[in-house]
Amino acid sequence: MLGVRALRLLQEWGCCRRCMLIFLGERSDLLYGDMAVIDDTLKSAAAKIKDESEPENGVSAQVSESEQKEEEPSLQEGSEASGNQESKVRVSLEDTNYDHMAKKQRCSVCITCLGLLQWGCSSDAVKLLSDAISSRGNDGDAFALALSFPMCLSLRVHRVWTLLLQALPKFPEKGRIDHVGTIKEVWKNLVGPEIEVSIKRKFITKKYFDFILNVNATHSRDMVECEIMEKLCTAMFTVRRQQHRKYSNTVFTKQAIDTAIKKVSDEEFLKACPEPPCVPDEAIIFQSLQCQQTSIFMAGRYNKYSRELPQTPWLVEGERKMETSVQELICESLIGAVKADDVKFSSSGREDVDVRCLGTGRPFVVEFINPCRTKFTRSEMKDLQAAINSNTKLVALRDLQVVDRKDVKVLKEGEEEKTKAYCALCLARDGYDPKVLDRLSGMTELTLCQKTPIRVLHRRCLATRRKIIHKMLASRVDDYFFKLHLTTQAGTYIKEFVHGDLGRTTPSLGSLLGLEVDIIALDVENVALDWPPRCDD
Ligand SMILES: [Zn+2]
């Protein structure tokens, strides 16, 4: 009875019942069954694995009922490892020492799952996990689990498999490939439904990314046990040890251990690890429990009425140059309402600190990273917008709404394509003849060559860009001042077009009018991007 012999060895070495069942190749719902029936499941799983070709101990493979009974391992309730085996298990028992056995009886942490399928599924663990989700105060109605476990767990599984196959070469090893993944799945499917009941949120097993509880399980012996792979794969780890920066934390990454396991043959491995993994003194611990909610996005349009307000916080070498910014005025109260860890603000283009943004405003979107609140009614959005608008005279919002992630790309796509309308207050230092302004209305689709302006050279590469002015219209203010309304391709540098930027923009307004012209003030009048959708209210 190959299965029964395998079961005995696994029990001998100190595997928990669920781990034994996984070694026996069980991948069905039976793995999640009640502990009360798991012994029967184990026995029947073991009985299914037979070595048909060879008679065992001189007895034919057809084992009679009574013989089978005698062969059944005793599975004692309350202790994962059973001591009364030495007379029966003949296979590979040379490796078993009695200290090992005694220790195993005192402490029943499983040698392969390190207690993940024991303590890790207990009501204490479920409470810990449930509390981690509940305390986040998230408004979602479902959750998924993600588990990362110590590398030594993979290593221990590998160790038990090599020993098992050494002792029982005919034991079916098809389950070996997905073994570690199975432990993870079994754990999730054991605790998930319990957490579901406890927090009244639906547990989702497959491909669900909206809300994930990331469980990082660690074990005190992890690093010590990984060292064996460094001895076996010296070259690989020597290279890693030299790459200080890349592996500043540890050279024993999950990938490294997996690669090392594949590189070393079972024979070499057994030479280095001839005995079963030691019975651990303690189980794995959940070192960190992190809730991860996918971002939500809010979009709207903003007006900016100040000429002393940057769009984003203006810091020079860590020092703040302006008290606040459009981004801060919009995001600070929203982040409080959404209870997010962080925000990312982006907009369709941007204006300079001294440029106002009028008309229907500039489209923007805010991404909320790891938000607690994800659901907002239309009336709540209205209230949020009203609160921001009543707090400041510097900016005003409209059309504030929750949008889908997939719609956000409209904002960035539109940035280059869309036209923008501006109004510039210009000064002709020597005065001007109002008739010259009429020339401009006849100029449509005028192509400019703009070398990167001097004022932005420190952050943009030097290049000559062709930009189009679709149309212009100028109107007299007085003998020196006039207003220029223009519609341009996105990305046109308007200030440089007006004053010429020392000949870097050609033609310039000055060259077109035959005047020396300066720009006094600039307003964005329209950003022609029809997004986000208007809100009727
Ligand atoms: Zn186990």
| 61 vs 64: CA distance, rounded Å | 9
pLDDT in tens, 343-377: 999 998 889 999 999 999 999 999 999 999 999 99
Which tens digits make up the pLDDT trace of 46-74? 988 887 665 545 444 344 444 444 445 55
| Residues with Cβ within 8 Å of residue 419, at least 6 apart in sequence | 470, 487, 488, 489, 490, 528
CA 254–ligand 1 middle distance (angstroms): 20
Residues 408/297, Cβ–Cβ less than 8 Å:
yes
The pLDDT of residue 53 is: 63
482: which strand partners? 426, 476
For residue 486, the one-letter residue type is: L
Q: What is the pLDDT of residue 55?
A: 53
- For residue 168, the one-letter residue type is L
CA of 42 relative to ligand 1 center, distance in Å:
13
Read off the pLDDT of residues 447-459 as tens digits, 9 standing for 90 and up.
Answer: 999 999 999 988 8
Reduced to 3 states, what is the DSSP secondary structure of residue 346? strand
pLDDT at position 88 over 50:
no
Mean of the per-residue pLDDT values of the chain: 87
Distance CA 67, CA 164 (A): 23
Q: Indicate whether 526 pLDDT > 80.
A: yes
Report, as residue numbers or ranges, the catalytic residues. Answer: 352
pLDDT of 90 > 70? The answer is no
* 499 or 206, greater pLDDT: 499
Which of the four pLDDT bands, split at 50, 70 and 90, describes residue 522?
A: very high
Question: Cα(72) to centroid of ligand 1, in Å?
Answer: 20
How much is the pLDDT for 395? 97
Q: How many CA atoms lie within 13 A of 196 on its CB side?
A: 14
Rounded distance from Cα 133 to ligand 1 centre (Å): 26
Kindly report, residue by residue over 392-421, the tens digit of the pLDDT.
999 999 999 999 999 998 888 766 778 899
Strands (E), 395-511: 395-403, 419-428, 446-451, 464-476, 481-489, 505-506
CA–centroid distance, residue 125 to ligand 1 (Å): 15
- Count helices and strands in the chain by DSSP H and E runs: 18, 16
Phi, psi at 167, each rounded to 5°: -75, -40
Q: How far, in Å, is the centroid of ligand 1 from the Cα of 148?
A: 16
Query: Between 17 and 64, where is the model more confident?
Result: 17
The pTM assigned to this predicted structure is 0.80
Residue 329 and residue 350: Cα distance in Å, rounded?
Answer: 15
Nearest of 337, 395, 391 to residue 368 by alpha carbon: 337
The CA 59 to ligand 1 mean position distance, Å, reads 33
